[in-house]
């Protein structure tokens, strides 16, 4: 059945630690990750799934900007008047990809930050790839949950566990992390890195890999939280500046000055 939940979300935060003998890399905010990727194109088109209050969306500039969220936390009609290059769709991502997007609409940069479940984000990724330019990039938010309860897909269970544990943090990432394992096993045409110096955003582009890691679909769908900690190498953590360098090299762009 198609996921049509209109969940309400808590934006998560996690400061990543670094080894004691190295200075911690500067933490990069989510909007700067997207902004720097947009800056690698001359005239980028941008799609954001899950926009909330527009804290990322309204800090970016692109000639075409598309916002999708069933519950915008701002007046999107007024925003459309203020930002003529932007369009705002108050629908779920499934509705947007199913009935709103034009068949030929393409984007260079897509940011997936909607409903934080593995199944929904997988569907968002597959739909986004249909509309991604060959040299495009997808950013998937929240693939590195900081705790067991932050990794659960059911938000009401998260709230109960958080209260029982006396955890004052609001972090909720759901089981989106499973998507990284899915890509590793089932999307050989894609390459990814996860930003180490923020809360955990996967940056994904169309670079084929010579091999995949064998896993069953069931294993990926049921992958427990502890694998995020114990098999961290699957996330392919890297400083954002190194991710940008890899991505630029793949596209044949000169290194950033």
Ligand X SMILES: C[S@@+](CC[C@H](N)C(=O)[O-])C[C@H]1O[C@@H](n2cnc3c(N)ncnc32)[C@H](O)[C@@H]1O
Please give the residue ranges that form the binding site for ligand X (CB under 6 A): 6-7, 9, 11, 30, 48-52, 55-56, 68-71, 92-93, 113-115, 120
93 vs 198, beta carbon nearer ligand X? 93
Q: How far is the CB of 66 from ligand X (least distance, A)?
A: 12
Cα-Cα end-to-end distance for the chain? 49
User: Cβ 200 to ligand X, closest distance in Å?
Assistant: 13
What's 41's DSSP letter?
S
Nearest residue to ligand X on Cβ basis: 50
**Shortest reach from residue 88's CB to ligand X, in Å:** 12
Is the CB of 29 or the CB of 245 nearer to ligand X? 29
User: Residue 44 or 50: which CB sits closer to ligand X?
Assistant: 50
Contact by Cβ (8 Å): 45, 64 = yes
Give the shortest CB-62-to-ligand X separation in angstroms: 15
Order of strands across the sheet that contains 64-68: 86-89, 64-68, 45-49, 107-112, 132-140, 202-205, 191-195, 237-238
Q: 65: how many CB neighbours lie within 10 A of its CB? A: 22
* Rounded-to-integer distance, Cα 146 and Cα 13, Å: 9
Nearer residue to ligand X within complex by CB, 47 or 234:
47
């Amino acid at each position: 059945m198609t996921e049509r939940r209109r969940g309400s979300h808590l934006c998560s935060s996690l400061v990543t630690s670094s080894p004691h003998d190295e200075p911690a890399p500067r933490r990069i905010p989510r909007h700067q990750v997207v902004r720097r990727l947009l800056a690698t194109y001359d005239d980028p088109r941008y799609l954001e799934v899950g926009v909330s209050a527009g804290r990322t969306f309204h800090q970016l500039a692109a000639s075409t900007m598309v916002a999708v969220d069933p519950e915008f936390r701002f007046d999107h009609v007024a925003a459309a008047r203020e930002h003529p290059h932007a369009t705002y769709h108050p629908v779920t991502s499934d509705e947007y990809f199913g009935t709103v997007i034009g068949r030929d609409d393409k984007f260079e940069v897509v940011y997936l930050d909607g409903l934080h479940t593995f199944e929904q984000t997988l569907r968002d990724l597959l739909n986004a790839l249909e509309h991604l330019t060959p040299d495009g990039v997808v950013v998937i938010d929240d693939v590195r949950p900081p705790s067991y309860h932050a990794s659960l897909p059911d938000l009401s269970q998260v709230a109960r566990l958080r209260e029982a544990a006396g955890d004052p943090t609001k972090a909720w990432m759901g089981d989106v992390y499973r998507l990284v394992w899915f890509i590793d096993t089932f999307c050989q045409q894609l390459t990814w890195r996860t930003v180490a110096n923020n809360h955990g955003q996967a940056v994904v582009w169309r670079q084929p890999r010579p091999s995949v890691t064998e896993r069953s679909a069931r294993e990926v769908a049921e992958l427990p939280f502890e694998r995020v900690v114990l098999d961290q190498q699957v996330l392919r953590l890297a400083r954002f500046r190194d991710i940008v360098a890899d991505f630029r090299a793949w596209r044949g762009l000169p290194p950033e000055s």
